[in-house]
Structure 1
Amino acid sequence: MMPNILMPALSPTMTEGTLARWLKQEGDQVRAGDVLAEIETDKATMEVEAVDEGVLSKILVPDGTAGVKVNAPIAVLTGEGEEAATPAAPAPPPA
């Protein structure tokens, strides 16, 4: 499975930012260098580029979300024919 796409740090002191908007949609093919989204801080707006290629299978943080922590997963990129991992279901309570 490919790694999650993480919220980048736009500066050494950045701890969180706003995911302004997605430029790619779920199901889109992505190549390394493609611009995926725009991230805003109080000082700048920057583009997030893909570092791998695959399919943008799941967007975890919607457009306009503020307070996204640096290194938090914002999307899932999978390889061709792979499915995005889903969180495990919680264990049933003991009887």
Structure 2
Amino acid sequence: MAIEILMPALSPTMTEGKLAKWLVRAGDTVKAGDIMAEIETDKATMEFEAVDEGVIEKILV
């Protein structure tokens, strides 16, 4: 069963962010806590972690 992953709000005041870099590719296996991407906001660059385990089916953005 596929789960769509959306960009999280990294702070209460975050209104937009930019996907700076994917650190995984389609077909990669991830587990909770693995870093999947870097997200840039107007204040900082943050790492985006997987919250569950699974296989990356495809990356759309």
Same fold (TM over 0.5): yes
Q: Distance in 2 between matches of 1:49 and 1:5?
A: 11
Specify which structure has the higher proportion of strand. Answer: 1
Residue matched to 1:80: none
Q: CA deviation at 1:18?
A: 0.3
Taking only the aligned residue pairs, the percentage that are identical comes to 75
Query: What is residue 22 of structure 1 aligned with on the other side?
Result: 22
Gap regions ≥5 residues in structure 2: none
- Unaligned 5+ segments in structure 1 are 62-95
Q: CA deviation at 1:16?
A: 1.2
**Rounded Cα–Cα distance in structure 1 between residues aligned with 2:20 and 2:50:** 16
In the TM superposition, what are the counterparts of 1:68-79 in structure 2 within 5 Å?
none
Post-superposition CA distance 1:39-72 (Å, at most 9, x none)? 00010000000001010111111xxxxxxxxxxx
| TM-align CA RMSD | 0.9
Normalised by the size of structure 2, how large is the TM-score? 0.92
Q: TM-score, normalised by structure 1?
A: 0.61
- Which stretches of structure 1, 4 residues or longer, exceed 2 Å deviation after superposition? none
Equivalent pairs, count: 61
Q: CA deviation at 1:33?
A: 0.6
